[in-house]
């Protein structure tokens, strides 16, 4: 369990051990602040005591010298990428920056993998296993409001128009961290047995425009389809994500599900238009839609066993009609489904369709549901691999380690985990002058993070790779 200086949050840790969790880091941070707790540098979970008896086989002192040398570059890279953000599928400049850096280090480099993806191979002096490290490179259609001297002013094509673009999710930091890891591990090549595969991924946030209504293949799925987990075959894969709502320098991990699946869906309610003064002459799709929105929530509250795993169904967009006294022909809604279990995910999708069709029919309308394909699968950390790397994480963070709550955001790192065991962790990076409870969340226009977290990220990923290859 997580050890705190204040006894009150220990109840949180005990609940975590039983499988209970808060819905997000934001609620965790708020509860922490309310309790007045301070996280200390220790983890005392019985689940990882056996693993902790095996010290990580990593030359931390030697690594730290190289990390200190690369530290100024991390900030330079991060700020350069931050001020030149590129949307999903448009990562031309970023991928060139990455590829040029990897080539300069002497790595074998492949570009245009799954779009603008870059893959670098670092082969050790002796044969051995293959470990992959992944970073995402794309930005978001968000207007930045941080006021930073290197803030983005970029505007780019988006959904048939133009949009401001910003690195509002920390992918600039992820890219800089993995570039730093490549430089640090290149110095370990002579002592390394095995291969490190550096995966710089485009389009993690998704490609918004798909030609001719075809099934989109982007991001991790596209890279996997082009063989990124083969040639050579990857034995294990690791990644991290920057989280400002977690104390700077702390790493959060969790065996099993850590990020939710993500399924976008569109609902169409077809009615019969008429004058607003005589609704009985038509079929009102707005009333039917309102009932659908309300009744969909009973799927989570009354039909899914949320004592086993949490789930979320949200409608984020409703469009129908254009005048106060005209009942329209149809209404279109868009929503998202989040689950932490693949069986529950498929069950919920079936129930969303059945509920929509039944409620629409009861109102004399017609309801159809279409799910985006593909959605994001549950990101679930391999339990055996997670237990094995806990001592490495503890050593790499000087003990600043915490069991993470389940987070209802989604990630396509799950595509790699379908091929090889993988572990995904969170890197705390609360900006200076903020607290975890007051820091802007990922995807917010004022999102920022503490750049002192960058070398911690390099230390963590470098240690994970070297330890895995050495055992």
Q: Which of 253, 376, 416, 424 is catalytic?
A: 376
Give the pLDDT score at 412: 96
User: Region 229-235: what's the mean pLDDT?
Assistant: 97
- Residue 38 or residue 353, greater confidence: 353
Q: What is the location of CATH 3.30.70.360 in the chain?
A: 261-371
Give the pLDDT score at 36: 35
162 assigned to active site: no
376 assigned to active site: yes
Task: Tell me how far apart the alpha carbons of residues 321 and 329 are, in angstroms, rounded to a whole number.
Answer: 8
The CATH number, out of the four listed (3.40.630.10, 3.20.20.100, 3.40.50.300, 3.30.479.30), of the domain defined by the range 25-259+379-470: 3.40.630.10
Which one of 25-34, 44-53, 459-468 scores highest in mean pLDDT? 459-468
Give the pLDDT score at 61: 82
| Helices 453-470, 383-396: crossing angle, 10 deg rounding | 130
Give the pLDDT score at 333: 98
Check: pTM over 0.85? Answer yes or no: yes
Cα-based distances in Å from 146 to 76, 83, 106, 241, 444: 18, 12, 37, 20, 10
Q: What is the location of CATH 3.40.630.10 in the chain?
A: 25-259+379-470
Query: 3-state DSSP helix/strand/coil percent for the chain, to nearest 5?
Result: 35, 25, 35
Tell me the pLDDT band of 43, cut-offs 50, 70 and 90: very low
Asked if the model's pLDDT at residue 211 lies above 60, the reply is no
Tell me the pLDDT band of 315, cut-offs 50, 70 and 90: very high
Asked if the model's pLDDT at residue 34 lies above 60, the reply is no
How many beta carbons lie within 10 A of that of residue 36, not counting itself? 11
Residue 57: strand pairing partners: none
Task: Tell me how far apart the alpha carbons of residues 268 and 334 are, in angstroms, rounded to a whole number.
Answer: 9
Tell me the pLDDT band of 318, cut-offs 50, 70 and 90: very high
The CATH number, out of the four listed (2.30.110.10, 3.40.640.10, 3.40.50.2300, 3.30.70.360), of the domain defined by the range 261-371: 3.30.70.360
Give the pLDDT score at 210: 56
Calculate the average pLDDT of the chain.
89
Instruction: Write the pLDDT tens digit of every residue in 244-296.
Output: 999 999 999 999 999 999 999 999 999 999 999 999 999 999 999 999 999 99
């Amino acid at each position: 369990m997580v050890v705190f200086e204040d006894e009150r949050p220990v109840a949180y840790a005990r609940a975590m051990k039983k499988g209970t969790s808060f819905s997000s880091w934001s609620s965790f941070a708020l509860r922490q602040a309310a309790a007045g707790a301070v996280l200390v540098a220790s983890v005392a979970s019985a689940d990882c005591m056996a693993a902790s008896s095996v010290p990580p086989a990593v030359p931390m002192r030697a690594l730290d010298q190289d990390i200190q040398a690369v530290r100024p570059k991390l900030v330079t890279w991060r700020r350069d990428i931050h001020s030149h953000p590129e949307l999903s599928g448009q990562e031309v400049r970023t991928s060139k920056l990455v590829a040029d850096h990897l080539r300069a280090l002497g790595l074998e480099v492949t570009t245009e993998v799954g779009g603008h993806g870059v893959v670098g191979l670092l082969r050790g002096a002796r044969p051995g296993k293959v470990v992959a490290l992944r970073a995402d490179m794309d930005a978001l259609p968000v207007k930045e409001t941080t006021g930073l001297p290197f803030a983005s002013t970029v505007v780019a094509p988006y959904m048939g128009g133009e949009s401001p673009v910003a690195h509002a999710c920390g992918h600039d930091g992820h890219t800089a961290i993995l570039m730093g890891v490549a430089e640090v591990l290149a110095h370990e090549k002579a002592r390394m047995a095995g291969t490190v595969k550096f995966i710089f991924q485009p389009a993690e946030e998704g490609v918004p425009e798909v030609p001719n209504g075809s099934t989109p293949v982007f991001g991790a799925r596209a890279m996997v389809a082009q063989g990124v987990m083969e040639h050579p075959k990857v034995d294990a894969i690791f990644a991290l994500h920057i989280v400002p709502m977690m104390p700077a320098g702390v790493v959060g991990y969790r065996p099993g599900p850590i990020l939710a699946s993500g399924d976008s869906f569109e609902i169409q309610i077809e009615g019969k238009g008429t004058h607003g003064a005589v609704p009985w002459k038509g079929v009102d799709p707005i009333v039917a839609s309102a009932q659908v929105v309300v009744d969909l929530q009973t799927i989570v509250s009354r039909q899914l066993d949320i004592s086993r795993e949490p789930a979320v169904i949200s409608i984020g967009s409703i469009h129908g009609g254009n005048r106060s006294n005209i009942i329209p022909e149809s209404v279109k809604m868009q929503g998202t489904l989040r689950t932490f279990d693949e069986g529950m995910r498929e069950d919920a999708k079936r129930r969303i369709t059945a509920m929509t069709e039944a409620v629409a029919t009861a109102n004399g309308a017609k309801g159809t549901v279409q799910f985006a394909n593909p959605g994001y699968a549950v990101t679930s950390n391999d339990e055996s691999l997670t237990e094995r790397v806990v001592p490495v994480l503890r050593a790499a963070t000087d003990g600043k380690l915490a069991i993470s709550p389940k987070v209802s955001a989604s990630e396509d790192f799950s595509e790699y985990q379908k091929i090889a065991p993988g572990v995904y962790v969170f890197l705390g990076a609360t900006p200076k002058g903020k607290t975890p409870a007051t820091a802007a969340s990922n995807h917010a226009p004022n999102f920022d993070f503490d750049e002192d977290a960058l070398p911690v990220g390099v230390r963590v990923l470098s240690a994970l790779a070297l330890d895995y290859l050495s055992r």
